[in-house]
């Protein structure tokens, strides 16, 4: 990870913390936690969401809050682009099936 990406990661964690302490719903907080920053190019922060549903939730309900928080921290106007990246999506663990202990029937 480059220093630039690391710094953006730190800033993103601060933004997530700030917004989570505010008026976000539990579902919005969950979307913020599973979204990650990819990079910053020409004043546009690129975020990766784990699904189309998460992408829509961020673009529809969180765009303003995210761009305001990023702009304050970076000291300039920031716009937002969100893409779906399922490569690092959290996959739920399979539910263990019951297996009798050896020697039991």
CA distance 97 to 71: 49
CATH number at 62 reads 3.30.300.180
Domain membership flag for residue 71: yes
Does residue 64 sit within a domain? yes
Q: Is residue 67 part of a domain?
A: yes
Q: What is residue 4's predicted lDDT score, i.e. its pLDDT? A: 54
Distance of CA 85 to CAs 11, 18, 53, 63, 88, Å?
20, 24, 12, 18, 7
* Domain span at 11: 3-87
Q: Of 82, 81, 84, which is closest to residue 50 (Cα–Cα)? A: 84
Mean pLDDT, residues 60-79 taken together: 96
Residue 9 falls within a domain, yes or no? yes
Residue 33 lies in a domain: yes
Are 54 and 35 in contact by the 8 Å Cβ rule? The answer is: yes
Is 95 a member of any domain?
no
Stretch 85-103: mean pLDDT, rounded? 58
Q: How many CB atoms are located within 10 Å of the residue 71 CB?
A: 15
pLDDT tens, position by position, 4-59 = 555 899 999 999 999 998 878 999 999 999 999 999 999 999 999 999 999 999 99
pLDDT of 86 = 84
Helices 3-20 and 63-74 sit at what angle, rounded to 10 degrees? 130
So what's the pLDDT on residue 77? 97
Number of domains into which the chain is organized: 1
Q: Is it the case that residue 104 has pLDDT exceeding 70?
A: no
pLDDT at 23: 79
């Amino acid at each position: 990870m480059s220093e630039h990406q690391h710094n953006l990661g730190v800033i993103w964690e601060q933004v997530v913390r700030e917004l989570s302490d505010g008026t976000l719903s539990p579902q919005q907080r969950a979307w913020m936690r599973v979204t990650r920053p990819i990079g910053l190019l020409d004043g546009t922060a690129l975020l990766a969401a784990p699904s189309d549903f998460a992408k829509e939730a961020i673009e529809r309900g969180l765009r303003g809050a995210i761009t305001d928080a990023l702009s304050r921290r970076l000291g300039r106007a920031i716009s937002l682009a969100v893409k779906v990246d399922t490569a690092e999506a959290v996959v739920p663990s399979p539910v263990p099936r019951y297996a009798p202990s050896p020697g039991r029937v």
